[in-house]
Amino acid sequence: MSNEEEEKILLESIDSCRLLVKERSRLLGRSLTYHVTTFGCQMNAKDSEKLSGILEAAGFEREEDELAADFVLYNTCTIRDNANQKFFGHLGSIGAVKKKNPDMMIGVCGCLSQERSAREKITQSYPFVDLIFGTHNLFDFPQLLYKLLTRQVTKGKGHLISEFWDDTDRIVENIPSRRNYKFKSGVNIMFGCNNFCSYCIVPYVRGREKSRASSDIIDEIKRLADDGVKEVMLLGQNVNSYGRGLSEDINFARLLEKVEEVSGISRIRFMTSHPKDLSDDLIDVMAASKKICRHIHLPLQSGSSRILESMNRQYTKESYLSLAAKIRERIPGIALTTDIIVGYPGETDADVDDTIDVIEKVQFDGAFTFIYSERTGTRAASMPDKVSAKEAARNFERVLAKVQETSQKRAKLIEGMTGDVLVEDINRQDSSLVTGRLSNNLNVHFPGDASLIGQIVRVHLSECRGFYYIGERA
Ligand code: SAH
Ligand code: SF4
Ligand code: F3S
């Protein structure tokens, strides 16, 4: 089926849902409500905006309280075991609520539902779930929703509605979307992952890598700009390999140049960069750009070449260090942040020393540090020499201490300077302050009101407080 046909079916299914939602609302004497609960990464957050967009186009109204909505949809993550546990915690409590309110509808989608063993656990142990679908079936959501609503309206007996594919190469454009922020937006540039890092579940639950046509990406960004968006975050598991497999002659650096030309967009970010594919061309484009933010998230995972090889990361300690040095030299003021895994099978104290050495040498501006979590079906899951929880925790603390040291040092370097801040929100603790982000991704809090939200303002960085700034308008 062509993309246009898929798009047409999707929109028609939404129309059919709308009639049922209307009928149900009439019987209830109020609007039907929904709540989408999102776990995991920016890509899931983006998918949730689409799921919410579809639900609103079908006539549902957003309900802030998860436990009070007529339809609750969980968009799940399974990157580490604690992501699974968090979700099952939610599912347990919603089960108790549904007992009192049998008309409530519960759906599960996202990465965890794509994983076979987790899916089996849901279908066997949580029989109150009405709908479950996989990551390759987001475009089928309106049709599945239609089935679910039909069952509700006709009071049909409930058995699970489900749809799963192992993979897909379809990309459907122009899905309705409900954006979380008016002034910034994620934009998918590619889906899936082909890298098969030995510890990682993503290639199994998100399928093979596929890039969107650049014209579709640019059209979306133009529409976003027309709608008031100032900052776009280009999303992919490995944005540096963007364009592979497309018939057009394009790569990530060329795509960035095209995005740069979209008027109305002031800031461009991207996530995530795999070190093995970060080209000199990209560094040049960033160095010359007025819009690309001074920040690269460049996951290291480990500083030990031996562990990196076992992880299938395709770079070494030395090549990572020279890449980081080159970026720092060619793009002054750039922030480098990273992800680190501690406790990978076979990791010794000496390997962790290597990781700490890289943190020290690169002087990371920030890092997410994770304890290795075994994922069923990945290569690392069957490796010998598992690291004990105690050892992992001890090394985790060592790594964390070093990361905190370098990131505080880096943050402090710009104290007393001024910088442009995109204001995102009112400060949660102190409502006389607003909170925003510098180009290098550091948070700044300064006196201001809601009228500043979505604006880029010049701020004097008066006081560094560890990892963030207190400032005042310059
Ligand atoms: N595509 C991105 C990473 C996405 S997952 C990249 O390649 O950089 C985000 C982070 O989760 C990874 O960078 C890694 O540090 C961490 N992670 C992935 N699988 C993990 C596992 N099994 N245990 C612990 N951390 C893991
Ligand atoms: Fe996972 Fe590696 Fe793909 Fe990132 S690049 S999503 S860590 S397999
Ligand atoms: Fe989680 Fe899936 Fe993202 S496993 S981190 S939500 S791609």
pLDDT tens-digit readout, 164-219: 898 888 888 889 999 999 999 999 999 999 999 999 999 999 999 999 999 999 99
User: Is residue 205 in a domain?
Assistant: yes
Q: Is the C-beta atom of 202 inside 6 A of ligand 2?
A: yes
Reading the block at residue 395, the tokens are 């090394």
Closest CA relative to residue 58, chosen from 131, 132, 142, 138 = 142
Q: Which residues line ligand 1 (CB under 6 A)?
A: 79-80, 199-200, 202, 237-238, 272, 274, 299, 301, 339, 341, 370, 372-373, 375
| Ligand sitting nearest the alpha carbon of 341 | 1
Question: Is the same domain home to 43 and 150?
Answer: yes
Question: Is there a single domain that holds both residue 381 and residue 267?
Answer: yes
**Ligand 2 in reach of 76 Cβ (< 6 A):** no
The CATH number of the domain where 158 resides is what? Answer: 3.40.50.12160
Q: Can you say how many angstroms the Cα of residue 425 is from the centroid of all Cα atoms in its chain?
A: 20
State if residue 282 touches ligand 2 by the CB under 6 angstroms criterion. Answer: no
Q: Return the pLDDT at 158.
A: 64
Q: Point out the ligand 1 atom lying closest to the alpha carbon of residue 273.
A: 8
**Of 134, 163, 192, at which residue does a domain stop?**
163
Q: How far is the CA of 124 from the centre of ligand 1 (A)?
A: 29
**Alpha-carbon Rg of the chain, whole angstroms?**
23
What pLDDT was estimated at residue 4? 84
Instruction: Please report the pLDDT score of residue 151 as a whole number.
Output: 83
Are both 157 and 236 inside the same structural domain? no
pLDDT at 142: 96
User: Do 159 and 194 have their domain in common?
Assistant: no
Nearest to 116 by CA among 212, 201, 214: 201
* pLDDT of the residue at 400: 98
Task: With CA atoms as reference, report the closest residue to 379 among 198, 163, 228, 168.
Answer: 198
pLDDT at 333: 95
CATH number assigned to the domain comprising residue 226: 3.80.30.20
Is residue 179 assigned to a domain? Answer: no
- Can you give the pLDDT at residue 171? 85
pLDDT at residue 82, rounded to an integer: 96
Nearest to 21 by CA among 71, 67, 66, 65: 71
Q: Which atom of ligand 2 is nearest to the CA of 313?
A: 2
134 with 110, same domain: the answer is: yes
One domain, residues 116 and 219:
no
Q: Is 203 in the pocket of ligand 2 (CB under 6 A)?
A: yes
- Residue 177 domain-assigned (yes or no): no
Amino acid 170: pLDDT: 83
Question: According to the model, what pLDDT value does residue 160 have?
Answer: 86
Buried/exposed 453-467: b ≥16 CB within 10 Å, e otherwise: bbebbebbbeebeee
pLDDT of res. 155: 64
43 CA → ligand 3 middle, Å = 7
Give the residue, out of 36, 37, 42, 79, with the most ligand 3 atoms within 8 A of its beta carbon, to mutate for a pocket test: 79
| Sheet of strand 231-235: strand arrangement | 184-188, 231-235, 267-271
CA 131 to the chain's CA centroid: 23
Q: Is the dihedral of CA 21, 25, 31, 36 positive or negative?
A: negative
Residue of minimum CA distance from atom 12 in ligand 1: 339
Question: What length is written for the chain?
Answer: 474
**Residues 156 and 126 grouped into a single domain:** yes
Q: Write out the residue range of the structural domain in which residue 96 sits.
A: 3-163
pTM of the model: 0.96
Question: String of b and e for 26-56 (b: at least 16 CB within 10 Å)?
Answer: eeeeebbbbbbebbbbebbbbbbbbbbbbbb
Q: Is 297 touching ligand 2 by the criterion CB < 6 Å? A: no
**Closest residue (by CA) to atom 5 of ligand 2?**
195
Q: Report the separation in Å between the CA atom of 237 and the middle of ligand 1, taken as the mean of its atom positions.
A: 10
Residues in the chain, pLDDT under 70: 153-158
- H and E: helices and strands count for the chain: 14, 19
Residue 452 CA to residue 457 CA, distance in Å, equals 8
Counted domains in the chain: 3
Same domain, 335 and 283: yes
